[in-house]
Amino acid sequence: MKLGRILKNDKIEYGVQYENNWYKQDVNDDLHFLEQYQQNSLILTSHENLKDMEFEWLPPLARPSKILCVGRNYADHSKEQGKLPETKPIIFSKYSTSMAGHMSVIPYPSHTNNLDYEVELGVVIGKTASKLKSINEAWDHIFGYTICNDLTARDVQKSEKQWTMGKAFDNSLPIGPYIIPSDTIPKPTNNEIWLTINGEKRQLDNTNNMIFSIPYLIYYISQNITLEPTDIILTGTPAGVGFYMSPKNTLRQGDQISSGVSSIGELRFSIK
C-alpha cells in the first residue's frame, strides 16, 4: 500500500495506491491522512485504475511541518569533495514550497549555473519524537519512506555560509511518488540507492553506507528539535554528483532524471 496525492480534474486528491488502483480518501490535510492509516481507517472500497486515469502526481504531503536534510552522510560523497567523513550530522532545511511531485518538469532555476542532483532516501515521521532516550526507539517514530532529490544550486551553496538559497529554492525537492508505510516493508537499511541521467548511471550506493544511520539521525535531531508527524528527513546522498565529476557534469535543460531506492520505488523528473 502506498499513500500519495494527485491532481485530477483540477482537484487535489489524497489517496492510496494498491497494485495499480487508486483509492481516493476523504481527507483534506496531511495529518489526518497519516492518522487514517495509523487508525486503520483508510477507505478501500471504490477505486479507479491508475492507467485509465488522467492525473498528475503531487508531493505525497502538502505541507510537512518541517523538512530537515542531512549533508554529507555517505563517506564516498565526502571523499569526492576531498573532505573527511563528518563527526556529527550537518543539518539544514528545505520548505514545503521546495517540493515538486513525481514526473515534474522543473524549470532550470535562474539563480544558478550549476544545478546538481542528489538522490536521497526520505523518512516521514509518524509519531512525535522529543529527546529520545535511545537510538533504537527512533524506529517507532517513523511513519514511512519516500524518495527525494536534494537539488542544489552548487555555485550558490558555495557562495554562502548557510545553504538556504543554494538548497531550498522552489522545486529543489522532487519527492514521491508516494510514501510506503514502514510497517509494510523491512527496514530500508540494506537498499540500493541510485540515480541515472538520460539513462546513464551517475549515483549508486547502499543505504548501509550512511555515516549516521536513520535511527541515529532521528535520535540526534530529537535532542534539540521536536520531530512531529508529517516532518520529513532527507538522509543524505551518495557519491557521483555532477559538480565533483571531472569535468563537471551538472544538470542541463532537457535532462531526464530517474532515481530510486530498491525497496521504495522510483522517482522521475526532468529539467526544462
Cβ 12 to Mg ion shortest distance, Å: 28
Nearest approach in angstroms of CB 70 to Mg ion is: 7
Gap between the Cα atoms of 194 and 262, Å rounded = 8
Least gap, CB of 63 to Mg ion (angstroms): 21
* 3-state SS, residue 86: coil
Q: Point out the residue whose Cβ comes nearest to Mg ion.
A: 150
Minimum CB–partner distance for residue 69 and Mg ion (Å): 6
Give the residues lining the site for Mg ion (CB under 5 A).
Answer: 118, 150, 237
Buried b (16+ CB within 10 A) or exposed e, 202-234: bbebebebbbbbbbebbbbbbeeeebbbbbbbb
Beta carbon nearer to Mg ion, 179 or 195: 195
Question: Among residues 118 and 255, whose Cβ is nearest to Mg ion?
Answer: 118
CA distances from 1 to 15, 16, 96, 181, 217 (A): 10, 7, 24, 8, 26
Cell numbers given for 149: 532529490
Distance CA 42, CA 72 (A): 37
